[in-house]
Amino acid sequence: MSYTGTIEGGVVKLPPETGWADGTKVRVEPIESKEDRRSLVEKLRAIARSMPEMPSDWAEQHDHYIHGTSKR
C-alpha cells in the first residue's frame, strides 16, 4: 500500500486516511515531475551535441574504438 504526501516545513505530511501510528517506519522517495524529466532530456541532448562526430560503424565496432580490439 502506498500514499502520496507532501513536504511542509521539512516534514512529510501524509493524508489522514493512512491511519498509521506515530513511529511507523516508512520509505520516502521523491516523485519525478515532467519538468524534471524534460530538463534531464535537455541535459542529455546537450551532452550528445557536444560529442565529436562518431564513426559510422560505431555501434558494430565499439570494442575496437573503446578498447582497441581488432575490428570484426
**Is 26 a member of any domain?**
yes
**Is 1 a member of any domain?**
no
**Is 72 a member of any domain?**
no
**Cα dihedral sign for 31, 1, 14, 28?**
negative
**37 contact partners, CB below 8 Å, separation of at least 6:** none
pLDDT tens string for the chain (72 positions)?
888 888 999 998 888 888 888 898 988 888 877 777 778 888 889 998 898 888 889 889 999 999 999 998
**Is 36 a member of any domain?**
yes
Alpha-carbon distance of 72 to 39, in angstroms, equals 38
- Domain boundaries, position 38: 6-67
- Containing H/E element for 8? strand 6-8
**Is 37 a member of any domain?**
yes
Number of domains in the chain: 1
